[in-house]
Structure 1
């Protein structure tokens, strides 16, 4: 996992890499115990192992409330997917949808940013997502002029500091628009 900042958005790059591909000077933390195998890299300016355009992208809106200030914040989140070579188009769409569905499952919806990022990382470790080579999670707060006023359909999850209300409809962008 490598965090980066691009303009107003925070990007979390989560990818499958062999241990030999790591430069130890770039590593901030190596997890152990139940999280063994997860490596957190130091934040980078805009380092990119360019895999080209993502093959699939899902975006959704979160309505956040800061419990300390009561401020309402609307955030756009995007999940961009790259797949291992040879992954069939239908498998790409299915894996991305399954990944998203598991990520926002109401009974264990992450309660905060750290939980959301950790759940993405843990899902990438799962064998059911081995066709996914890389996921780029983008989180950007929308200014009040561009933000929707309320979610169409929503789930509320409360925590001591903030609660998360993902909204739908889900916007799905698929590249290429037609299967190869």
Structure 2
């Protein structure tokens, strides 16, 4: 926490903040989000992967929903985020969907309910998300169905989708493969 406190003035002015696997806790995340709120238009890339942010993702969501926030890349893999945290995150993305291009939520416990919330964000015509990583998130065929439905509603942006290490049957994999083959969709890279 002391090191993070010393970095906060620098973070306020940074375009890219990489704090993966730094032992950031709820208290540290509160300090970080406070610093980001003071200058939300500057930051373009934030990676907090491999920190246990479970409940702190709600604080981060407050920054993301700020209309001045221009964050393009967000890494939250293995942050102990559940479907509850995903609800806060997707709510923020729905209120400010046009900037985020790359979202990594791999190795979290999102399950189908969290993925359904993400599919609602993907349906928004203002959503410009190009890369979505959901590896090992407990997604089943039900979540995959919601996701493909969301992609069909707004086919023009997503280029890369990672659903590897989830519980998808062949029927779901076929749905995804069909999307990738269809020229109306921009999906170029698909992992399942």
Same fold (TM over 0.5): no
More helix by share: 2
More strand by share: 1
Greater RCO between the two (CA within 8 Å, min separation 6)?
A: 1
TM-score, normalised to structure 1's length? 0.27
